[in-house]
Structure 1
Amino acid sequence: MIAWLGEEGWQAVLLSLKVSFWATLISLPFAIAIALVLSRKEFSGKQLVNGIVHLPLILPPVVTGYVLLMVFGRRAPIGSFLEDTFGLVLAFRWTGAAVAAAVMAFPLMVRAIRLAIDAVDPGLEDAASTLGAPRWRVFSTVTLPLITPGILTGAVLGFAKAMGEFGATITFVSAIPGRTQTLPSAIYGFLQVPGGETQALRLVIVSVAVAMAALLLSELISRRVARRIAGQ
């Protein structure tokens, strides 16, 4: 496998898997919280919050990457604070690629999870509350099991989006081989050099295979969870 992809291509595949995993893990708790608020709460400015959440889907990815660079760059206020306080550097590091991928994947995750929450009858939650269950227990014992398939769908969509993220990532962290060069940027890089089409095609095949495997796994898990909820 390493010989077929080449060292640079193999490094890009491993880095993309690493970045996508952490991007999904970072985004998922916040996506569940935001989806719950947007689905169950009414407040002034709700549409504004909803618009901000979905803004990365509308803006050119390069713009999102530039904003991240201005916010989390080493000379930016937040970026310099993170470096001085925690020793955490995001710009031009794989950690920054994970943050960029998380930002781009976040709207898709929120949307999938919110649709799942909207499908849950609020009367079930109200009934649990009237029996004296605290809010956190209602969520963990009633809402969460029912929206688990939606959470899994959102996680897979987020992972797939993170795997394919290019514009924001290359703007924020560049495409340094072995450090920040993810699968899409490696494909783009091979297409820019004479004779690199074959290597690019191999990486495209790997990208499609990983995406299909993730979708199939999500479908299997969702069906199993749905059967367990139905008591089968």
Structure 2
Amino acid sequence: MTDFTNQTVLVTGSSRGIGLAIAKAFDAAGAQLILHARSEIKPEVLAEFKQKPQTLQFDIADAEAAEASIKALYKQEGFEGIDVLVNNAGITKDQLAMAMAPADFANVVNVNLNGTFNVTQPIFKKMIRQKHGAIINLSSVVGLMGNMGQINYAASKAGIIGFTKSLAKEGARRGIRVNAIAPGMIVSDMTAVLPEETQAEILKNIPLSRFGEASEVADVALFLASNTYITGQTLTVDGGLYI
């Protein structure tokens, strides 16, 4: 396993699901974790970590709140900076295009895409000064191939891919690597609510004939954080859905 001892890792949206799995993987690899959520993280979740993580609580869509929280973090005595940032936080509000409320389109893009920028910019500035760092953005295969009923989500996740490529070019000369992960159908609260017939139909299009596990996305996050010659890339974790 890659050793992240003495490295500080911030994972947004890490109170459950893929974000929590990624945080646990870094914890197992020895990293000092900073967990983030919009609401307070439950004590029983924090108890699952080997090393007691620090927590941040703010809405990533609120640029001022994000900047203030991150600035306060860097002002803490003894804080040496963030080595790895994982932008995982995001939302869905699915609806067919003809029935989608403009507010629902704007809200999903604001949280998923603008929110990623709001968290990344103040940390990227610090990484530029420290001349190292890894940023991993969670996109989706939906951002690559589209999906009915998800024009807002698809737009936001496609935007993250462009965001990743552009930021990778800006950060490369300072030793900052920026990559994205595009998960497919992963076992989660989101997929659990899908009707059985819908799940069966989706499985027909997945060559590996199963949904992925959050831990399999986490493995890729550790790989991208540790490999020092990959940047600007989007790795799909989808069982072959986007072949």
TM-score band, normalised by the shorter chain? under 0.3
Structure with the bigger RCO (C-alpha within 8 Å, sep 6+) is: 1
Bigger radius of gyration among the two: 1
Q: Which has the higher strand share?
A: 2
- Compute the TM-score of the two structures, normalised by the length of structure 1: 0.27
- Compute the TM-score of the two structures, normalised by the length of structure 2: 0.26
